[in-house]
Structure 1
Amino acid sequence: MLNKLVFVAILIALSAMLLSCDTANNTQTSYQWPIIEGFPKPQVPKDNPMSEAKVLLGKKLFFDKSLSANQQQSCESCHFQAFAFAENRSVSQGSTGEIHRRNAPALVNIAYNKTLTWAHDGITTLERQILIPMFGESPIELGITGHEAKVLARFDSQVYQALFEQAFDGQPLSFELIVKALASYVRSLISLNSPFDRYAYFGDDDAISASAIRGMDLFFSERLECHHCHGGFNFTQSTGHEQQLLDRRPFHNTGLYNVEGSSAGYPQKDIGLAEISTLAKDNGRFRAPTLRNIRYSGPYMHDGSVATLSEVIDIYAAGGRNIAHGLYQGDGRANPLKSQFIKGFELTAEEKQDLLAFLDTLTDQAFLTSSKHQLSE
């Protein structure tokens, strides 16, 4: 009975989020979102309403290496469908071979994200975020800056002309339209068909195992506190949609580092939100990613420094990570800026397996394999 009571509480919390409110500022079209009935639609900029034609164009652009200056990489080069549109390497490598400092985030339900990137509270739309990999110079990703005319000319082809005509009704080819199309495709990457969803929203009591139900109880308990950073239907606090009244942009220091001799605690190469805010209290604070399809989006953390989910649980159980040797030696458990929710906890071996079983129920196999997200020739 306790399991069902816990779950009813979850559904009540979700229902509260879905209370009707004024959505006049959220421009929508006849586009059919692949979402569960009763769920709110993602927020969409007024000047870029969703359409199937934009999604189709954006998908072709997403997989096209012509979008990089040297034609060596596409968006898909760092965001593979099989890995929940992330990549199975610790940090990304740009089109020129430059190694980046951060792990490529999964593009799962990113249409619902309130903030984009790992640690920037001012980037709240995909249209703005996409400019970074396209035109950023430090680090270089697609490397378009300085090569704009050459790159744009590659899309002045018969095939692309037809796609742009359908998507944008005769507007002249421009990077603005490319960005809008890419944003539309990425917004279409919705994952809401996991065993958890079938159990939670479609009433299939057999969709998840007894072990996973026990793990769910642990996940939503005050003992583990997981849900404080990974709550809501998207399993992250960083959520926005057409019916959300609060503007929440949470970032967290999880005690991953506490480098000896460093005033920031985290390695100077990446101190998180503090780079943007310039506030010492933001040192080491990063956005909590969605846990949907988390089994396939590793390695984990902003720098890909944790290889497995089992290790992630061990770090949180310890109340942070203690690095005994090496460049980043230090006890993250003692980081003074660590989140209040990273307190540590004890788990039996069976409870740990139950928790892992629950996290596995957030895997949407159709999302990882569906041809609708793939480029068809």
Structure 2
Amino acid sequence: MSKYLRFSVLFLLVISVLSCSEIKKPPSSYQWPIIEGFPKPQVPANNPMSLAKVTLGKQLFYDVNLSANQTQACASCHIQEHAFAEPLPTSIGSTGHKHRRNSPALVNIAYNKTLTWAHDGLTSIEQQLLLPMFSENPVELGITNHEATVLARFNTAQYKALFQQAFPEHNGQHITYDLITKALASFVRSLISLQSPFDQYAYYNKDEAISASALRGMTLFFSEKLECHHCHGGFNFTQSTSHEKQLIDRRPFHNTGLYQTLDKVTGHLGYPSDDIGLAEISTITADNGRFRAPTLRNIAVSAPYMHDGSIATLAQVLDFYAAGGRHITSGEHQGDGRLNSLKSPFIKGFSMSEQDKIDLISFLHTLTDEAFLTNPEHAKP
């Protein structure tokens, strides 16, 4: 593999790191498991990272006592072997409430600029965690109206000791939801994946780490012909990235032409009325169908794909983008998404041979970090 190609790829991946001057941060005792020279994630000043918080957060993440009916934990919908996603099109809450969206993978969430599929105002993990905990539509953990009952379950000797270690400044005061969300956020921030074969190739100069097919796929991925890197760029393979050296909001929400459905009530064409994406939050018509471009790290193990889990395989995803959108010929969502007037200009369609497809999938598999998927530090206690 030529040194020029490696340099070109690295330039595209880390240019955002160099786009802003370094922000001075107070030193932290927490050791981030990141590649030497990589920027550290941003962390709220009122919730600095510590190993004790991560340990407590992991215990809470896997504990079904955090759901009102004690049937689900955070880990029920965020499974380690699936990159902390789940192999269902859309999630099902603790009360059996079917959700409208696919459970997103929790990979390098510490670097995310925005959180959830379509909300440009959610930029804090602590804030986002309140949704699965207290939301009533859809119900996830279902804590609302059961706050005292759920909180009392953590009034045990084991948890008291863990909370004391994680938050010594509270001097053993009552356990609160504020402390629970801070601990959970710390654990989620610790889920760093930067040891894939691609990383070995790109950052450790190990040419043998990826195959010739994957190298061809990488060339296609970063080409202007396919334009994948425009929405899935940077070292985290997503525009939704923020860290200590890059604070620019790249507005990483895109309409990919997944739908062009006729709304029987309004008579308008667009995404299904039960989930119109960012427009639901912004109330801006142009945001209809815009969803956040997720990271592609560990993408091979986090199927199904898209915000609603409506595409089952990576091969089908590539076919979808090659077609420039999706044409649904029958059923509830019948319509030609390729003709969606709000579709991103990057979704133009492209020609792709069978070998190109094999090579692209091979490249995407190099983003699978087996160490991350099996790391005992992330596993159930």
TM-score per shorter chain, which class?
Answer: over 0.9
Q: Does 1:8 align with 2:7?
A: yes
Structure 1 residues 18 and 353: alpha-carbon distance in aligned structure 2, compared to 1, 3 A threshold: same
Mapping of 1:265-304 within 5 angstroms? 265-304=270-309
- Matched to 1:21, the amino acid is S
Shift of 1:16: 3.5
- Matched to 1:348, the amino acid is S
- Is residue 27–residue 49 contact of structure 1 (8 Å, CA) maintained in 2? no
CA distance in 2, matches of 1:375, 1:32: 21
- Matched to 1:41, the amino acid is K
- Is residue 114–residue 249 contact of structure 1 (8 Å, CA) maintained in 2? no
CA distance in 2, matches of 1:218, 1:4: 17
The match for 1:202 is 204
- Is residue 56–residue 185 contact of structure 1 (8 Å, CA) maintained in 2? yes
| More displaced stretch, 218-227 vs 263-272 | 263-272
CA distance in 1, matches of 2:143, 2:376: 29
Shift of 1:246: 1.5
Shift of 1:6: 3.0
The match for 2:376 is 371
Mapping of 1:66-85 within 5 angstroms? 66-85=65-84
Q: Deviations over 1:57-114 (max 9, x none)?
A: 0000000000000101000000000100000000000000000000000000011010
The match for 2:244 is 242
The match for 1:359 is 364
Q: Deviations over 1:278-310 (max 9, x none)?
A: 000000000000000000001000000000000
The match for 2:38 is 39
Aligned counterpart for 1:230 among listed residues 229, 232, 247:
232
TM-score by length of structure 2 reads 0.96
- Matched to 2:245, the amino acid is Q
Mapping of 1:1-377 within 5 angstroms? 4-19=3-18, 21-24=21-24, 26=25, 29-169=28-168, 171=170, 172=173, 173-261=175-263, 263-376=268-381
Percent of residue pairs identical:
66
Shift of 1:28: 5.2
| More displaced stretch, 187-196 vs 166-175 | 166-175
CA distance in 2, matches of 1:170, 1:35: 28
TM-score by length of structure 1 reads 0.97
Shift of 1:46: 0.3
CA distance in 2, matches of 1:374, 1:168: 22
- Is residue 14–residue 234 contact of structure 2 (8 Å, CA) maintained in 1? no
- The runs of 5 or more residues in structure 2 that have no matched partner are none
CA distance in 2, matches of 1:264, 1:239: 31
Moved over 6 A (4+): none
- Matched to 1:23, the amino acid is I
Count of residue pairs the alignment pairs up: 374
Structure 1 residues 274 and 28: alpha-carbon distance in aligned structure 2, compared to 1, 3 A threshold: farther
- Matched to 2:123, the amino acid is T
CA distance in 2, matches of 1:237, 1:16: 12
CA distance in 1, matches of 2:27, 2:141: 31
**SS of equivalent to 1:18:** helix
Structure 1 residues 296 and 371: alpha-carbon distance in aligned structure 2, compared to 1, 3 A threshold: same
- Is residue 264–residue 271 contact of structure 1 (8 Å, CA) maintained in 2? no
**SS of equivalent to 2:292:** coil
CA distance in 2, matches of 1:241, 1:351: 34
Structure 1 residues 192 and 279: alpha-carbon distance in aligned structure 2, compared to 1, 3 A threshold: same
| More displaced stretch, 8-17 vs 311-320 | 8-17
RMSD of Structure 2 on Structure 1 (CA): 1.3
Shift of 1:22: 4.0
Shift of 1:29: 1.7
**SS of equivalent to 1:358:** helix
CA distance in 1, matches of 2:23, 2:141: 36
- Matched to 2:233, the amino acid is G
CA distance in 1, matches of 2:47, 2:246: 20
CA distance in 2, matches of 1:34, 1:264: 46
Shift of 1:18: 3.0
CA distance in 2, matches of 1:245, 1:37: 20
Q: Deviations over 1:112-152 (max 9, x none)?
A: 01000000000001000000000011000000011111111
Shift of 1:175: 0.2
- Is residue 164–residue 170 contact of structure 1 (8 Å, CA) maintained in 2? no
- Is residue 33–residue 192 contact of structure 2 (8 Å, CA) maintained in 1? yes
Q: Deviations over 1:18-77 (max 9, x none)?
A: 3372423x5652100000000000010000000000000000000000000010100000
| More displaced stretch, 206-215 vs 243-252 | 243-252
